[in-house]
Structure 1
Amino acid sequence: MWSLIVAIVVGFVAGLIARALHPGDDKAGFLMTTVLGIAGSLLATYAGRLLGLYGENSAAGFIASIIGAIIILFIYNMLSKKS
C-alpha cells in the first residue's frame, strides 16, 4: 500500500516535469497533467516489476516515473489529436 502512495506522489511531480520536457502544444490542464503523471508513474512501477527491475513492495524511481509520464503524455496527445 505504501508503494502505491509513493508512486502517486512521485507521479504528480513527474507529470509536471514531463509536461515541461515534452515538446509540442499541450492542451491538457493542470489536473489532466497530474493524472497523466500518476498514470506514467504507475506504468513505470508495474512495468519494472514485470521486468524484474523492482521488488514486490517498491515503486519506480523518479527518472523512470518521468519517462513513464512522457510515454503516457505522448499517447494522450496522439489520441486527442485524432478526435
Structure 2
Amino acid sequence: MIDWTGLSLPFSVNDLISSGNGLIGLVGSFVLLGLAFVFVPMVIELLREYAFTGKENEAFKRSGRGEWDRKKRINVAFDRVKSRKGH
C-alpha cells in the first residue's frame, strides 16, 4: 500500500470545484451552439412538414374522406423528415 499521509495538494476542494464550474461555463456555450446547429434545421423541417400536413387535413375535411387528428399529422411529419434525412 502507498502511504498518503504526507501528501499535500496545492489546491483545495473548493478550488477544484470552482475551476470545474468555470470550465463548464466556458465550454458549455460552445456545446450548446453546436447542438443548435444540429437540431434547429430538423425542427424547422418538422414545422414545415407539420404545416403541410395540416393543409392536407383541411383538404380531407372538405372532401369528406376522413379527418386526421393532430397525432397522425405529427407522425406523418416525422416520417417525412426521417425519409429525407435517410435514417
- Shorter-normalised TM range: 0.3 to 0.5
Bigger relative contact order, structure 1 or 2 (CA pairs below 8 A, ≥6 apart): 1
Which of 1 and 2 has greater Rg?
2
Q: What's the TM-score once normalised by structure 2's chain length?
A: 0.39
